[in-house]
Structure 1
Amino acid sequence: MEKKGKKRYSMEERKEFRKLILEKLEKAKKDLLILKDSFSNSQDNGTDDTSPIFKAFEEGSETLSKEQKAQIMEHLQKFIKSLNSALIRVESQDYGICRITKELIPKGRLMAVPHTTLSIEGKRLVEKRNK
């Protein structure tokens, strides 16, 4: 639990967050690479000699799959950017400070969502403004 009035996380705590962020970053980059490879790999499924109706269904399925992959790739790219930004904040000692309330974000929230810039209270305030 955070101490009352604590303004920043200690160097030791930031090292722990940095390790977590780096692990998530490595996994996200691997996932993105796998997805890019599968996206660009347009393998022929050998349907040249099958009925035209089956081919039409398969092509429609491929399109949907490509659209889904593109959305996932976009999400992963944003996630990687957010993790990189979090790494910068860890190094500059701004990590873990809510950009709305200016209070320390609880450690449990940061362990679950290490790239967040909002506490739960800050997130509620933002959502309230956007209504």
Structure 2
Amino acid sequence: MRILASLTALIALGACSVADLNHGAEDLRFNALTDETRRAWDVANRDLPFDGGTVYIIANEHGDMHTYALRPCGGDHICGANGQRGHVERTADYFVVTGAYPHRTFLLSPGGDGYLNWRGVYRDLAWN
């Protein structure tokens, strides 16, 4: 029953998230509220990167599947499997990891998905 109520709430929230630009700033404030509600829902009910330690990532890179491991290594630093030390920054929607692997930026969103920016190209990823 709880799952049904949660899904109903998400569907109702999604129906309200489309902006009608003819109404101006009022709709933009409403959309900001729905975005903040979604973010709060994500933090409360979905897995967050690095909460359980090491994050394992799989991504399609130039036609091949590649795997990565990112682990916290003190403060706001993240280390790649190659021992290279990177940095993590929390934005409104993503945990952005830079420097852990050469030429790669990881944008990890709550729940297990996100993007890999490899040489300026964004690719979908999954993390666990």
TM-score (norm 1): 0.28
Q: Which has the larger radius of gyration?
A: 1
Higher helix residue share: 1
TM-score (norm 2): 0.29
Greater RCO (Cα-Cα under 8 Å, separation 6 or more): 1
